[in-house]
Amino acid sequence: MLAKTARVTTADEYRSAVRRGARFSGPNTVTYVHREDSAGHRDGSPARFGFIVSKAVGVAVTRNRIRRRLKAVCYSLQSTVEPGIDIVIRALPSAATSSFASLEREVTRSFAKAKVLS
């Protein structure tokens, strides 16, 4: 499980990452990567992750399963992600029928495109 310091928690943090971050799309997710500028307060702090899984994805059981899968993928990649970055992953409705392995490949590919892996 991701520690509280490794999570995006407030609406303002989500909004900032989605509006100002670089966007990387896949068939099941959209990944937003927001790097603070050199004057930002996020320099040196660990990377933080947030997840958006709307009702369009499915019922509560399905949404929670997708969120848990995305958290597990991010937890496994957490040590390789550069510090000071906020990453928000939005699950698309097609994520409900995709396997854990395909979600893992897609998120890893998005992180590689964003050049956040060290």
The answer to whether residue 69 sits within a structural domain is yes
| pLDDT, mean of residues 63-86 | 94
Contact 31, 108 (CB under 8 A): no
- State the pairing for strand pair 85-91/48-53: parallel
**Cα(3)–Cα(21) distance, rounded to whole angstroms?**
22
**Cα(16)–Cα(98) distance, rounded to whole angstroms?**
28
The answer to whether residue 13 sits within a structural domain is no
Instruction: Inform me whether the pLDDT recorded for 41 exceeds 70.
Output: no
The answer to whether residue 66 sits within a structural domain is yes
Q: What is the pTM of this model?
A: 0.91
Q: Phi then psi for 55, rounded to 5 degrees? A: -65, -15
Q: What is the CATH number of the domain that holds 81?
A: 3.30.230.10
Question: What pLDDT does residue 36 have?
Answer: 74
Give the total number of structural domains in the chain: 1
